[in-house]
Amino acid sequence: MAELATTKQGSDVVEHATDAVSIKKCLDFPESADYLLSRLIEKLKSVGLLEKADELVEKVREYVDVVHKQRSLRGQPWDADPACERTDFQNLQANLAEEALERLTVVITDPMKMDYALSDLAEFVRGFSVNGKPLSPELLDFCDKLFNAWLAENNLLSKGGKIYEVSDKGIIRKDGKGAPMTANADRVKELLNDPVKSFQVYLANGKQSIQLITKEHPYPEQKPKTKPVIKAREEAPEAGVAAEPSTPQFEKEGGVTPSSGSGGGAAI
């Protein structure tokens, strides 16, 4: 790819912008990514475009942060630290989780509960609560980052309400027909209840531990759609009253559904 010609303000001296391949290589390592960001800021300042390009700078800054989280030190190899075996994908998720854990433990000091349900097709919904009260969307997001990091440690990924098998690079595997490979539901359940590898143990062994209580529920079935019944005109329409659920309610996609003894339920 040819370099792009640029000029300094008030100057006839032609400079050349770095080509895309070189930029991509710079973004492979934290140090060179930092250098690229600093040079970008310097260049934009020199041509008087820094303020106009603030969105671009912020996007590059976010990407550089991701590079750091992917490639940062993964434990001490001479201490036989298992973190050293993490892939870039796992390291990124672990670092995101570490930040989330720091934020979460400032607010949560009591045991946290996770109600969850997993279908045979690896469809997954969950709800987090403390003392019977659902967590706020912000705290729920922190919990999801922690859960995603635990999944990554087991080469799994939650996307669109389903759990998938992924490669070491975090790419969803394909089955023999080329379709995304959903996780084996029984294996996921075994992991969630494993005395050594469970999500509970993962949180308990963190730098700042959280006590977690988990409870599995039957996966909520979808009610079949029925044709509306046409009532006689003389019948007045009645307001429907929902019965109090005996188990936590879950939402299939996004959002937060408060329920008795459960946190906001959602697919992740």
**In one letter, which amino acid is 208?**
Q
**Is 67 among the domain residues?**
yes
Structural domain including 128 reads 85-220+251-267
Q: 162-165 and 212-216: which strand pairing?
A: unpaired
Q: Is 142 helix (H, G, I), strand (E, B) or coil?
A: helix
**214 and 94 fall within a common domain:** yes
Q: Is 165 helix (H, G, I), strand (E, B) or coil?
A: strand
**Is 126 among the domain residues?**
yes
Containing H/E element for 213?
strand 212-216
**147 and 196 fall within a common domain:** yes
**104 and 208 fall within a common domain:** yes
What sign results for the dihedral spanned by CA atoms 17, 23, 27, 32?
negative
Domains identified in the chain, total number:
2
Mean pLDDT per 10-residue segment, the chain (268 residues): 43 52 65 73 82 82 68 57 67 82 92 97 96 95 93 94 92 94 97 95 86 95 54 36 41 37 50
